[in-house]
């Protein structure tokens, strides 16, 4: 508790209002070309010290170099990027932002908000320790970036797009609560979709784990058939059938798992795009009402911001259509798994018939058939859950798409 209080009243931290949003524009090399008054005021630099200078002028050493490597890797490839960033002002104090960087013609646009969720508290602990590791081990950013991604996995995020979508969504929900705004239905729907998609992955993993647990059943059938000699011919046929099914399951399972991850990844991307479009709209509205922006090209900057929010609103709508399409396509992978589960039932029934004929190996056959039955039941139950989840994803994507079209 003492540490929490120290964080809240840290005199070296610059505080700004939650409804104050930053934006800055750089060229392709990261040199500042423009910004709004919030950026200038909080950084404490004058415009003559900011314009024409690299954006890293406000970089704080506690932010890992790996985070910036991931940023440049994404935006140079034309992808948007979001991250928690600890910045340093001219007088040496610091401030936290959640930054969203998007490519634009000739450079990049960064919009930023003040974060406040529990995830920020986690990042506040993680960043300094990770930056210290980078310095101690003299790690190049390209080498430390995979380590940062591994660390995120231990925190429950399978990849960076999942992390940045969840983080930005949580920060926007927290921002609305702090400002007394009604909850954003789009954010709420996407948060639900994201959690639902996590469950989808968990169900797919249950099927994969069950397969691994039973992978040696065909071999054990073959061993029993060999022990019985000529009397084991029927069991040998069962073993052959199950081996063929097992090989087919392995191939389809790989496609099935990949399809589940594809649905999840598409939802993460759509979530982040929708959140990005919202922040860009709010930055534009704030900029239109503020005074003291740098330079004389205010109208041009407003047009640029407007183009960005229109572009990302359109990308978010495209992302929703893609979510619905991927979820619908995933249904075929489920049907393939259901077909194999039915074939397993036929194999199990054949084995049960043979079991009654071979008293000498009955206990072992019973054990193998019980494992086969458990595997089949596990797959069937997971597929039933997945079918419900998949229908929900398609329905939610449809609702979000309809809302986006009404708002356009």
Give residue-wise pLDDT tens across range 187-243: 998 999 999 999 999 998 998 888 888 888 777 877 877 877 777 677 777 777 777
C-alpha separations of 182 from 16, 176, 199 in Å: 22, 7, 27
Q: Indicate if 205 and 259 belong to the same structural domain.
A: yes
CA-wise closest residue to 96 among 188, 171, 152, 191: 171
Asked if the structure places residue 127 within a domain, the reply is yes
Q: Are residues 243 and 137 in the same domain?
A: no
Q: Considering the chain, what is the average pLDDT of its residues? A: 88
What's the rounded mean pLDDT across residues 90-111? 96
Contact 69, 141 (CB under 8 A): yes
Cα(299)–Cα(284) distance, rounded to whole angstroms? Answer: 11
**Residue 165 lies inside a defined structural domain of this protein:** no
CATH for 385: 1.20.58
User: What's residue 358's pLDDT?
Assistant: 63
The residue from 142, 177, 211 where one domain ends is 142
Indicate whether 307 and 255 sit together in one domain. yes
What percent of the chain has pLDDT above 70? 93
Q: Of 142, 172, 199, which one is at a domain's C-terminal end? A: 142
My answer on whether 56 and 190 are in the same domain is no
Please write the tens of the pLDDT for every residue from 282-322.
999 999 887 654 455 788 899 999 999 999 999 999 998 99
Residue 248: pLDDT band with limits 50, 70, 90: confident
Q: What is the mean pLDDT of residues 147-163?
A: 94
Q: Are residues 132 and 191 in the same domain?
A: no
Band of residue 91 on the pLDDT scale cut at 50, 70, 90:
very high
pLDDT (mean) for 8-31: 89
Structure tokens at 365: 């056959």
Check residue 372 and give its pLDDT. 80
Which of 108, 142, 176 delimits the end of a domain?
Answer: 142
Burial grade of 407 (CB within 10 A; 0-12, 13-18, 19 or more)? exposed
The DSSP call for residue 232 is G
Burial class (CB in 10 A: 0-12, 13-18, 19+), 288: exposed
Average pLDDT over residues 110-132: 96
Confidence of residue 3 (pLDDT cuts 50, 70, 90): very low
Mark whether 136 and 266 lie in a shared domain.
Answer: no
**Average pLDDT score over residue span 161-168:** 96
Task: Give the chain's domain count.
Answer: 2
- Residues of the domain holding 56: 2-142
Using the predicted structure, report yes or no on whether residue 110 has a pLDDT greater than 90.
yes
151 falls within a domain: no
Is 147 inside any structural domain?
A: no
- Is the pLDDT assigned to residue 382 strictly greater than 60? yes
What pLDDT sits at residue 4?
A: 42
Residue 361 lies in a domain: yes
CATH of the domain at 54: 3.30.450.20
Of 62-66, 75-79, 370-374, the least confident: 370-374
Verify that 239 and 132 share a domain, yes or no. no
Mean pLDDT along residues 115-121: 96
User: pLDDT at position 5, please?
Assistant: 39
Between residues 178 and 240, which one has the greater pLDDT? Answer: 178
Domain identity same for 129 and 258: no
Tell me whether residue 156 is in a domain. no
Q: Are 88 and 103 in contact (CB under 8 A)?
A: no
């Amino acid at each position: 508790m003492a540490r929490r209080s120290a964080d809240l009243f840290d005199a070296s931290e610059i505080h700004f209002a939650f409804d104050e949003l930053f934006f800055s524009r750089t060229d392709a090399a990261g040199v500042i070309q423009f910004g709004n008054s919030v950026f200038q005021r909080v950084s404490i630099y004058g415009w003559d010290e900011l314009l024409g200078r690299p954006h890293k002028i406000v970089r704080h050493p506690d932010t890992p170099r790996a985070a910036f490597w991931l940023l440049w890797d994404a935006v140079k490839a034309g992808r948007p990027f979001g991250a928690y960033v600890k910045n340093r002002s001219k007088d040496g104090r610091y401030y936290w932002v959640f930054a969203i960087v998007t490519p634009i013609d000739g450079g990049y646009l960064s919009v930023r908000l003040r974060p406040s969720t529990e995830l920020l508290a986690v990042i506040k602990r993680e960043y300094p320790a990770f930056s210290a590791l980078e310095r101690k081990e003299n790690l190049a950013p390209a080498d430390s970036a995979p380590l940062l991604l591994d660390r995120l996995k231990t925190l429950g995020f399978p990849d960076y797009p999942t992390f940045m979508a969840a983080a930005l969504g949580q920060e926007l929900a927290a921002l609305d609560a702090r400002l007394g705004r009604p909850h954003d239905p789009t954010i709420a729907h996407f948060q639900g979709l994201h959690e639902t998609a996590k469950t989808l992955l968990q169900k797919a993993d249950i099927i994969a784990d069950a397969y691994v647990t039973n992978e040696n059943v065909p071999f054990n059938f073959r061993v029993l058939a060999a022990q019985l000699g000529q009397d084991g011919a029927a069991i040998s046929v069962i073993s052959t059938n199950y081996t063929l099914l097992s090989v087919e399951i392995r191939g389809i399972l790989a496609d099935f798992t990949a399809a589940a991850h594809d649905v999840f990844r598409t939802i993460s991307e759509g979530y982040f795009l929708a959140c990005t479009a919202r922040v860009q709209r709010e930055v534009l509205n704030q900029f239109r009402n503020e005074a003291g922006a740098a330079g004389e090209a205010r109208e041009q900057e407003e047009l640029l911001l407007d183009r960005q929010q229109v572009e990302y609103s359109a990308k978010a709508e495209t992302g929703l259509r893609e979510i619905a399409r991927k979820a619908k396509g995933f249904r075929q992978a489920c049907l393939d798994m259901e077909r194999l589960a039915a074939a397993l039932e036929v194999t199990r029934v054949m084995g049960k018939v043979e079991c009654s004929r071979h008293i000498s190996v009955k206990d072992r056959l019973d054990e193998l058939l019980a494992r086969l039955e458990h595997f089949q039941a596990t797959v069937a139950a997971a597929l039933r859950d997945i079918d419900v989840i998949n229908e929900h994803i398609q329905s939610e994507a449809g609702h979000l798409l309809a809302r986006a079209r009404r708002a356009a």
